[in-house]
Amino acid sequence: MKDFGTKFQLIIRPFLVIFISVICLYSFFHWWFLIKNEGLIIDEAIANFAIPLVISVVPVLMYLLPRIKLLDLTSRKGKNPVAGYVLMACIAIAVPTMIAQVYLITATGELTSLTSINQISALPKTKYYTLKSLYIDKQQARPKTDINISGKHNTNYNMAVYMPCPIFDVKYARHKPDTLKLLAWLGIKYQKTISNRSSAHDKQLAFDSFVKQSQDDFDKRDLTKFSYWIVSALPEN
């Protein structure tokens, strides 16, 4: 089994078939169902990273692992590095597939230039938008805080502050905000992670400080300085 031609037939060719098939088939599925037609609503982190990892592992275990086991890989120390080869094969397939999905979103996303935010409902929905005239009302921001635990053995204490602000054409002078139709929001996110091993008192102090710092930065920030914004969902008419 040490002949290169035999190894190519047994391992390399099936690996290349799996490699090309996973990238092409999943990229087409992602583009058709999640980007173009939006038949499925899936978090981007899951679509871009979790699913490519899973669909890379499954064919390797089903089709490549039995072939790898046929090779004489036992070293002089008596170790058989099958698991290492399987891991390398999974990574070699998963990473390019993840990169392809991120590129796919950027490459296929259409950019629409709007003169007024009121045009957003009349034009076909696209991924990216630019605005010529806008007023972002910080006073109407609806802040929301979130805390969650992550990491191996729950070691990370994650804090986040979300600041969604309504977008108008111009600063309203005579109309009250509740009489204006809200068509789009600009979202600002602040996040910070500390050790989950900190005491409850230290966590509360860190959270209060983080919220204050986020609010201070938000108050001083010029929200009109952006090149484009991404719309994940448009409001119902």
Report, as an integer, the average pLDDT of 122-132: 80
**By the 8 A CB rule, do 27 and 100 touch?**
yes
Q: With beta carbons less than 8 A apart as the criterion, state whether 40 and 33 touch.
A: yes
pLDDT band at 53 (very low <50, low <70, confident <90, very high): very high
Position 111 scores a pLDDT of 76
DSSP helix/strand/coil, 21: helix
Say yes or no to pLDDT of 174 above 70.
no
Burial class of residue 117, CB neighbours in 10 A (0-12, 13-18, 19+): buried
pTM, two decimals, is 0.59
Task: Give the C-alpha separation, 113 to 210, whole Å.
Answer: 36
pLDDT in tens, 66-121: 988 887 666 656 566 888 889 999 999 999 999 999 898 878 777 788 888 888 88
Are the C-beta atoms of 92 and 56 separated by less than 8 Å? no
Tell me, what's the pLDDT at 127? 75
**Of the candidate ranges 49-58, 112-121, 152-161, the one whose mean pLDDT is the lowest:** 112-121
More confidently predicted of 31 and 172: 31
Task: Show me where the domains of the chain are located.
Answer: 4-108, 112-230
| Rounded distance between C-alpha atoms, residue 12 and residue 5, angstroms | 10
